[in-house]
Amino acid sequence: MTESAVHPALWPAPVASGAVDATVTVPGSKSVTNRALVLAALASEPGRLRRPLRSRDTLLMADALRAMGVSIEETVSSSASATGDASGPEFSGETWRVVPAPLRGPVTVDVGNAGTVMRFLPPVAALAEGPVRFDGDPRSYERPLTGVIEALRVLGARIDDDSRGSLPMTVHGGGALDGGPVAIDASSSSQFVSALLLSAPRFNQGVEVRHTGDRLPSLPHIRMTVDMLRAVGARVDEPETGGEPNVWRVAPSALLGRDLTIEPDLSNAQPFLAAALVTGGRVTIPDWPAHTTQPGDALREIFTAMGGSCELTEHGLTFTGSGRIHGIDVDLGEVGELTPGIAAVAALADSPSTLSGVAHLRLHETDRLAALTKEINELGGDVTETADGLHIRPRPLRGGTFHTYDDHRMATAGSVIGLAVPGVEIENVATTAKTLPDFPQMWTGMLGA
């Protein structure tokens, strides 16, 4: 009996029979969807989100806001696509109408293992009338929250966490929050900064957030937060526009409801672009924005350096592999979420790679650096952890089980390796539902299966 027969959770990663040639429509950005939900919930008037991502993380966010009193009405104007191509579901017809309401407790919020939910919503809960308890998956208890908890206390919130600095915890909302200046160490997660900025227009004094720690990771996500705040009428002073380094100021103000179309999730496009690189094929991602704050946009430069070429037109991005994969020496500090997919491609390259600037990945859905090292090496690879990243020496790989640790990006990374290595089986591929619903169907559709 095969291992996959004994463990039905194992998914045989398809091997590419040749160069891929596909158009893959990826659903909306998780990062944009969850920020937009928070801003819409705190607005002074109703708003709409068009083409939102429907995934575990975004549904957890929507359900949490509903529990606190916000109305989120979902409508779909067209049926799901059944064309059999790689485009997956038809997302263009879905709209979420968000109607703000006075926030209330007592309620319990399930954060799952979603960093955006566990970090963005405690400041929102501080504005509610009544207690809001936060709980989640076992891994969520291990993820850092001290920066948000301590900052909210300085700003006037009352929080019961039994001195853990992590979940589970209860925010005792008083209907308002003083706000004002606060210093935090956000070196373990840029979400600490974004969490405070998103709710700051509703604080009595707004907020001044000063980062006091070492290098701040994932700066594009903070830029995304700032841009989205400004789009709904907030006044933000930031380092990028001549403000004081490592200081962000948001003035108190009413937020506008708006009609927002969510960009495709560019980081979730990564495995499909990687497929073009690995197979020497071509993949087009429709609606790739010409200007964006999403970290995934860096893939155009990174994957081109690794051996491909890309063309961005009004229709989207077309990426073409050359048939060869080159190693790369790259600092991924601002785009750490791309590390698993880049590591998977690097394991198949013709020369070594060094990925740096990503020590904070040890605190993500899993310890991504340890997980990538273990799983690639168990397939015959040669990966070494460094202080802030990975050194990857390509070796001939063999089949085997690729464990995911309930981490969606581990599952897609293993699938990329499986394109070129027969016999790779992905444990719990369903974890991709966190941000990329229907990934197995999209993957096999890309391959023409």
Please give the positions annotated as active site: 337
Structure tokens at 149: 């908890």
Q: How far apart are CA 242 and CA 382, in angstroms?
A: 44
DSSP-derived 3-state class of residue 41: helix
The answer to whether 179 and 253 have CB atoms below 8 angstroms apart is no
DSSP string, 222-286: HHHHHHHHHHTT--EE-GGGT--TTEEEE---PPPP-EEEPPB-TTTTHHHHHHHHHHT-EEEEE
Q: How many CB atoms lie within 10 A of CB 82?
A: 8
What are the strands of the beta sheet with 259-261, ordered from one edge?
A: 71-76, 94-99, 47-50, 259-261
Residues in CB range of 82: below 8 A, 6 or more apart? none
CA distance 410 to 258: 35
Using alpha carbons, select from 124, 129, 126 the residue that is nearest to residue 171.
126
HSE (CB half, 13 Å, CA atoms) of 349?
A: 27
3-state secondary structure of 310: strand
Instruction: Tell me how far apart the alpha carbons of residues 267 and 63 are, in angstroms, rounded to a whole number.
Output: 24
